[in-house]
Amino acid sequence: MFLLGLTGSIGMGKSTTAQMLVDEGCALWDADAAVHRLYGPNGAAVAPLAQAFPEAVDADGVSRARLKQIIASDAGALSRIERIVHPLVAADRQTFIAQAQADIVVLDIPLLFETGGETRVDAIACVFISDAEQERRVMARGTMTKEQFETIRAKQMPAQEKCARSDYVIETDTLEHARQQVQNMLADIRSRLPNA
C-alpha cells in the first residue's frame, strides 16, 4: 500500500483533485472530515473537550465557533485543544489506513508540512494555482472577507515552498489539465509498486 499525502493552500483546488484521485481508484482520508466526525454528536473528541472546555460543547457536539472564541481569548487554549484532538485524528487516520483496500491511500491534509506530516507518507502531491486565481476562487465562494482570507493565507506555508518540497505538483488551471496530471502521477506511482 502506497501512502500519498495531498496538500495545497486554500482555494487551490485540493477537494476537486481529491475527488479525481477517488475516481481513479484511490482511497481517500480527509483530515477536515475526520475532525468533523470527532467533533460531531458522540464523536471521540466531545468528552475530553467537554472536560477541558465545557462551554465549547452542546447537544450537537463541539462548537467550532465557540472553540474559536476560546482560542481568541486564551493564549494557551490552542495547544491544549491540539493535545486532545491531534492524537484522536492520528488514530482515525491509522484506522482508515488499516481498513483501506486500495493500492494507493490518499491522505488529504491541508497543513501537511506545517504539522510534520511529510514524514508519514511515501510521496506528496501539492495542488497549485497562481496567487491571483487562488484569491479569485476564495472570494467567489462568498464565505469570507478579503481580510479573513489573507489571515488564513498568512498562517499557511507559501504555496511555492509547498510545491518545492513535494514530489508531484498538480496545477489546477483547468479540470482537464488537472485530471491529466493526476492520471500521469498515478501511473508513475503504480509503475513503482511491488506488484506492478
Could you tell me which residue, 195 or 5, shows the higher pLDDT?
A: 5
Tell me the mean pLDDT in the region 24-30: 97
Which three cell numbers, joined as nine digits, stand for 53?
Answer: 472546555
Q: Is the pTM higher than 0.75?
A: yes
Q: Quick check: 8 and 111 in contact, CB under 8 A?
A: no
Q: 102-160, pLDDT tens digit by residue?
A: 999 999 998 899 888 899 999 999 999 998 899 999 899 988 888 888 888 887 888 88
Tell me the mean pLDDT in the region 99-103: 96
Whether the pLDDT of residue 196 is over 60: the answer is no
What number of other Cβ atoms are within 10 A of residue 9's Cβ? Answer: 23
- Cβ neighbours of residue 45 closer than 8 Å, sequence gap 6 or more: 35, 38, 39, 62, 84, 85, 88
**Could you give the domains of the chain?**
1-26+104-196 (3.40.50.300), 31-101 (no CATH)
Tell me the mean pLDDT in the region 5-33: 94
How far apart, in whole angstroms, are the C-alpha atoms of residue 148 and residue 100? 36
Name the β-bridge partners of 3: 105
What band does 174 get if pLDDT is binned at 50, 70 and 90? very high
